């Protein structure tokens, strides 16, 4: 196979004078040892290897920059074999390592173009050719080839021979006998292994994928004996199975195979019908046995022996054919390489017809200019970038097919479309003319950005590579260019953070490597030479590089915006200028090259055309005048003064920043000290409040226990009619304790109002976290619930919960702020309600005294007890009726009594937190209450 990179890089032999220098060193130093000479040879070999590695690296980067792989992928679509497609896809197409090899590839392409023109398409024999290299490798490694693999080798050999005969047939029918000679020469030295192909055909039927009886005499005899033995065995078993069926031993005669032996089926209960038989298997239910009659044992044994013998003979035949292919490895691989060359030649021809390309002509070596040696001569008219041409052809093809559906649905449609498009012209891509005289060694291209300088240079590089690979160029007439041993390009940004290279460092490092490996037959392409650094130094360095390249390469083409480089032509006629044309009317580039001219960057014109601010354009024009060479000294003075002013301004800003930093640090220290003190005060206050709350809780508990003890003591000696009075008195005492330990009204009011407090801009508020320091609201509250406040010099954003309002002196608590709990306690203590107010009941706290438990009772018993309790209960009291869940009978009866009883004002059904219990409220009975009071 081919390796494009190794073919693009010429063989690097040691310098011719190396041997002579070594001999001279030995003559001058006869005492030098052999070790010294060996060391010198080793150093030279290492240097040669290092240079070869650098050449490979640069050439690989150049191929990537010029997008050579994309051109090869376009070529792969036109290959007819899988080998050709894979080779072109991997950019491994053959490239001439010498001018003669490249010319040979061009001749093959030309012959293939004539063949396609004569026949209308590449030879159809390509379709049967397979890449059998892996099959051959398997045979060489000792792996037994299968029937299909052997047939693939046979098909490939047959197709290769047919391809050669077809090409020879074209040559015989041509007017000129040498017309197809380049293609014939590729295959004429090949051995098509006709005998091997015939041997495989005799042994194997590739249509049925079987080994034929005629493969060997032994195989024919074995298969004949096996056929006769199988006929006898089948006849015997059919007869036995029929007898079993007639005897009722099976539903229908059954002859089958079990454990690789022929047998019959019989019911397990009728196994006696076959005395001496051998049971080979049984059905899943066990009702049927598969037995081998004793008369069939020997015939089955014979079948096994013959089958094994047949398989052994077939393996022997496959082994023989495999060894024959292994012996022919070199011939088969050589044949595949040659078939691949023919396929790629036809692919190049199809590519040339698709692009309407023309065959390039290599410049003759007889061009001399004095004693300067061989000089380049490039004369290409109407050259187009091949990748852009392919894009244009696709657009034209799609447009043609949309307007002519007839040509898009058959195999011939593609050829017809291509043929119809070959004569069409398109404005894209714009063709360029490259005309470089024989005495020119360096071309400097100038012109505006986006004017096509880089694209033109890439097109020249691709044209050089394509001509080396035997490909036609998308150009006109007869393009002429030299054969270059190396095409080296420095195009694009080579910035590398990994290698610590800036844009300029990467750019100049690559140019240095190019200068190291370039030869007298190399083409060097450099884009924006000397850019990325100080303009004056960039011009000086670029001029020096070009002067160096002039004497060391065949041709160098560079692009630049430095006008000084265009002046090199005035001092040396080996330099040539070129400019990208720019239309002053449309202010747009035309993408055409003007040879012998110097182009302006036209940056201001382009900026003006896209609508840039006129003031900016005029200011830039003034700067252009100032940057003229005669005003360089004045520019340096202005630059120095501006730098001094900038330094003074930065020093003033630094002093201001230092002062501001000092003020900020003072404020920070003040806040930090206050924060530390505030934290200590906060912890002390929390401890104090905790102790106070604990004391209050303990006092409340003690007072309530005293009330309960007094209640229990009086309950023991109180009469029945004093019971209600005693309960009301105890409840009043408990309510007093609760009121005494309830939060103050103003505290509740402040806490309630704090939750809904919304500060206004400019309002003063307390800061809770700063010990109720007073601050001013500096910004209205935002939607995120935060407020910006100012405390002294400090502005800080806090949550609304961290601030509270400053209460007004005349602000009184509203009646609505009084807790509902205190109102209820007061009402229960007074035992009175105002007119129109809701009747107030005692605290709804469940105790053993106000609870009646009906669980476990019968309905009649529960009804009597509940009615008695309701009738004897005091007015405006609460009773808890526990009826449970159960079957629900007691619950329904209790709810019915509560609903109809005259003493019940209302009742609350059970809730999610109080299942099985209903709370009833007793009506006010003034008559009974008055009698109780008299008592």
User: How far apart (Å, rounded) are the C-alpha atoms in residues 288 and 280?
Assistant: 11
> Which fold is adopted by the domain 51-215+315-362?
MutS, DNA mismatch repair protein; Chain A, domain 3 (1.10.1420)
* Per-residue model confidence as pLDDT tens digits over 862-878: 888 888 888 878 887 88
Residue 118, token pair as written in the block: 């004569």
Residue with tokens 């939060």: 743
- Quote the pLDDT of residue 865: 84
Torsion of CA 114, 119, 120, 126, to 10 degrees: -100
Angular region, 837: left φ>0, alpha ψ -120 to 50, beta rest: beta
E strands, 295-429, in order = 361-362, 378-383
Q: Which two tokens stand for residue 720?
A: 């029945």
- Could you report the per-residue pLDDT of 890-924, keeping only the tens digit for each? 888 888 888 888 888 888 877 655 677 888 888 86
**Under CATH, which architecture does the 851-922 domain have?**
2-Layer Sandwich (3.30)
State how far the alpha carbon of 500 is from the alpha carbons of 144, 494, 610, in Å. Answer: 56, 11, 37
Name the E strands within 565-640.
575-583, 588-595
- What pLDDT was estimated at residue 808? 61
Q: What is the pLDDT of residues 626-665, one digit of tens each?
A: 655 555 556 666 777 788 888 889 999 999 999 888 888 8
pLDDT tens-digit readout, 490-533: 887 654 444 444 567 777 888 888 998 999 999 999 988 877 77
Contact between 421 and 397 (Cβ < 8 Å): yes
Please tell me the least confidently modeled range out of 281-295, 369-383, 575-589: 369-383
Residue range 804-815: average pLDDT? 54
Mean pLDDT value across the chain = 77
Query: Is residue 474 very low, low, confident or very high in pLDDT (cuts 50, 70, 90)?
Result: very high
Q: Which pLDDT band holds residue 174 (cuts at 50, 70, 90)? A: low
Question: How confident is the model at residue 470, as a pLDDT?
Answer: 94
Tell me whether domains 51-215+315-362 and 221-298 share a fold: yes
| Domain 221-298: top CATH class | mainly alpha
Q: 180 CB contacts (<8 Å, ≥6 apart)? A: 111, 114, 115, 167, 170, 171, 174
Spatial strand order in the sheet of 904-908: 851-853, 878-882, 917-922, 904-908
In the chain, pLDDT over 70 holds for what percent of residues? Answer: 75
pLDDT score for 730:
78
pLDDT of residue 540: 84
Spatial separation of the C-alpha atoms in residues 563 and 624, rounded to whole Å: 13
pLDDT at 534 over 80: no
Instruction: Look at 3 and 930; give whichever has higher pLDDT.
Output: 3
Tell me which H or E stretch contains 51.
helix 34-65
Q: CA–CA separation, 179 vs 55, rounded Å?
A: 38
In the chain, domain spans: 51-215+315-362, 221-298, 376-395+428-627, 634-740, 763-797, 851-922
Helix (H, G, I), strand (E, B), or coil: what is residue 573?
coil
Report how far residue 878's alpha carbon sits from residue 865's, in angstroms, rounded to the nearest whole number. 16
Token pair recorded at residue 467: 């001509």
CB-CB contact of 431 with 382 (8 Å):
yes
- Confidence check: pLDDT of 220 > 70: yes
Helix (H, G, I), strand (E, B) or coil at 714: helix
Q: Which fold has domain 376-395+428-627?
A: Rossmann fold (3.40.50)
State residue 307 phi and psi, 5-degree precision: -65, -45
Residue 212 main-chain phi, psi, to 5 deg: -75, 155
Would you call the peptide bond into 429 cis, given omega within 30 degrees of 0 as the criterion? Answer: yes
- Mean pLDDT is lowest, of 4-8, 93-97, 697-701, for 4-8
What mean pLDDT do residues 522-551 have? 84
Long-range contacts of residues 265-273, Cβ cutoff 8 Å, at least 24 apart:
265/241, 265/289, 265/290, 265/291, 266/291, 270/244, 273/243, 273/244, 273/247, 273/249
**691 alpha-carbon distance from chain centroid:** 65
Give the pLDDT score at 416.
35
Can you tell me whether residue 593 is helix, strand or coil? strand
- Averaged pLDDT, 308-322: 94
Q: Report residue 886 as tokens.
A: 């159960």
Q: What is the pLDDT of residues 250-264, one digit of tens each?
A: 889 999 999 889 999
| 345 compared with 603, residue with greater pLDDT | 345
- Which stretches of 492-531 are DSSP H helices? 503-517
The reported pLDDT for the residue numbered 625 is 64
Q: Label each residue of 863-898 as H, E or C.
A: HHHHHHHHHHCCCCCEEEEECCCCCCHHHHHHHHHH
pLDDT tens, residue by residue, 262-272: 999 999 988 88
Return d(Cα 324, Cα 147) in angstroms, integer: 14
Structure confidence at residue 926 (pLDDT): 47
Contact in structure between 256 and 250 (CB atoms under 8 Å): no
Tokens of 192: 């098509």
Distance spanning both ends of the chain, measured CA to CA: 129
What is d(CA 197, CA 205) in angstroms, rounded to the nearest whole number? 12
């Amino acid at each position: 196979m081919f390796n494009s990179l190794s073919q693009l890089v010429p063989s690097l032999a040691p310098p011719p004078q190396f041997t002579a220098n070594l001999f001279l060193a030995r003559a001058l130093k006869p005492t030098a040892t052999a070790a010294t000479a060996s060391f010198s040879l080793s150093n030279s070999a290492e240097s040669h290897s290092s240079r070869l590695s650098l050449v490979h690296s640069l050439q690989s980067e150049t191929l990537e920059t010029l997008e050579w792989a994309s051109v090869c992928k376009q070529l792969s679509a036109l290959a007819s074999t899988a080998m050709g497609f894979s080779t072109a896809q991997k950019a491994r197409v053959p490239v001439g390592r010498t001018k003669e090899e490249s010319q040979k590839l061009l001749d093959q392409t030309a012959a293939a173009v004539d063949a396609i023109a004569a026949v209308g398409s590449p030879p159809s024999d390509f379709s049967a050719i397979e890449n059998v290299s892996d099959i051959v490798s398997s045979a060489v490694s000792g792996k037994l080839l299968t029937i299909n693999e052997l047939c693939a080798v046979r098909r490939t050999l047959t197709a290769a021979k047919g391809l050669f005969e077809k090409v020879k047939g074209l040559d015989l029918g041509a007017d000129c006998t040498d017309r197809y000679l380049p293609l014939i020469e590729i295959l004429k030295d090949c051995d098509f292994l006709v005998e091997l192909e015939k041997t495989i055909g005799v042994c194997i039927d590739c249509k049925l994928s079987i080994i034929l009886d005629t493969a060997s005499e032994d195989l024919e005899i074995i298969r004949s004996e096996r056929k006769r033995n199988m006929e006898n065995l089948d006849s015997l078993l059919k007869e036995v199975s029929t007898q079993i069926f007639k005897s009722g031993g099976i539903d229908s005669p059954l002859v089958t195979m079990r454990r690789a032996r022929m047998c019959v089926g019989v019911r397990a209960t009728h196994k006696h019908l076959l005395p001496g038989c051998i049971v080979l298997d049984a059905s899943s239910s066990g009702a049927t046995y598969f037995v081998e009659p004793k008369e069939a044992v020997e015939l089955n044994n014979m079948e096994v022996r013959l089958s094994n013998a047949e398989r052994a003979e077939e393996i022997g035949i496959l082994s023989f054919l495999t060894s024959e292919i292994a012996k022919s490895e070199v011939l088969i691989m050589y044949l595949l390489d040659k078939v691949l060359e023919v396929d790629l030649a036809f692919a190049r021809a199809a590519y040339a017809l698709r692009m309407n390309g023309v065959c390039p002509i290599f410049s003759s070596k007889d061009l001399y200019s004095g004693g300067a040696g061989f000089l380049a001569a490039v004369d290409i008219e109407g050259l187009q970038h091949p990748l852009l041409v392919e894009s244009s052809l696709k657009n034209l093809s799609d447009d043609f097919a949309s307007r002519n559906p007839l040509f898009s649905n058959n195999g011939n449609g593609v050829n017809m479309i291509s043929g119809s498009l070959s004569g069409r012209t398109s404005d894209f891509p714009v063709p360029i003319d490259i005309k470089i005289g024989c005495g020119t060694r360096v071309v400097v291209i100038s012109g505006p950005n986006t004017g096509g300088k880089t694209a033109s240079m890439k097109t020249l590089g691709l044209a050089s590579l394509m001509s080396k690979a035997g490909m036609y160029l998308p150009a006109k007439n007869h393009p002429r260019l030299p054969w270059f041993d190396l095409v080296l390009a420095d195009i694009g940004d080579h910035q590398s953070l990994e290698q610590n290279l800036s844009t300029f460092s990467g750019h100049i490092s690559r140019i240095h490597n190019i200068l190291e490996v370039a030869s007298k037959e190399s083409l060097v392409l450099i884009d924006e030479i000397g850019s990325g650094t100080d303009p004056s130094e960039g011009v000086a360095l670029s001029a020096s590089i070009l002067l160096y390249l002039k004497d060391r390469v065949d041709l160098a083409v560079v692009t630049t915006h430095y006008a000084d480089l265009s002046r090199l032509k005035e001092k040396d006629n080996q330099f040539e200028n070129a400019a990208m044309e720019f239309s002053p009317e449309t202010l747009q580039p035309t993408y055409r090259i003007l040879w012998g001219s110097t182009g302006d960057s036209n940056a201001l014109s382009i900026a003006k055309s896209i609508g840039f601010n006129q003031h900016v354009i005029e200011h830039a024009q003034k700067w252009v005048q100032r940057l003229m060479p005669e005003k360089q000294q004045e520019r340096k003075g202005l630059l120095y003064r501006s730098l001094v002013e900038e330094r003074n301004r930065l020093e003033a800003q630094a002093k201001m920043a230092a002062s501001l930093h000092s003020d900020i640090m003072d404020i920070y220290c003040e806040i930090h000290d206050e924060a530390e003190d505030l934290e200590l005060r906060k912890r002390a206050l929390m401890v104090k409040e905790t102790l106070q709350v604990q004391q209050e809780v303990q006092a409340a508990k003690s007072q309530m226990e005293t009330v309960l003890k007094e209640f229990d003591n009086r309950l023991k000696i109180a009469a029945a009619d004093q019971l209600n009075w005693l309960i009301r008195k105890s409840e009043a005492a408990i309510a007093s304790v609760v009121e005494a330990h309830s939060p103050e009204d103003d505290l509740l009011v402040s806490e309630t109002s704090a939750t809904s407090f919304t500060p206004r801009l400019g309002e003063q508020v307390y800061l809770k976290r700063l010990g109720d320091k007073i601050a001013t609201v500096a910004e209205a509250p935002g939607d995120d619930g935060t407020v910006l406040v100012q405390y002294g010099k400090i502005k800080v954003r806090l949550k609304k919960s961290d601030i509270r309002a400053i209460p007004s002196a005349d602000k009184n608590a509203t009646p609505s702020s009084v807790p509902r709990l205190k109102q209820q306690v007061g009402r229960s203590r007074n035992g009175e309600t105002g007119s129109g107010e809701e009747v107030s009941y005692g605290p709804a706290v469940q105790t053993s005294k106000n609870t009646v438990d009906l669980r476990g009772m019968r309905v009649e018993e529960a009804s009597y007890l509940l009615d008695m309790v309701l009738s004897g209960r005091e007015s405006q009291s609460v009773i808890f009726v526990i009826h449970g869940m159960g079957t629900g009978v007691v619950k329904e009866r209790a709810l019915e009594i509560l609903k109809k009883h005259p003493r019940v004002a209302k009742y609350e059904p059970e809730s999610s937190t109080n299942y099985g219990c209903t709370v009833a409220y007793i009506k006010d009975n003034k008559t009974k209450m008055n009698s109780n009071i008299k008592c």
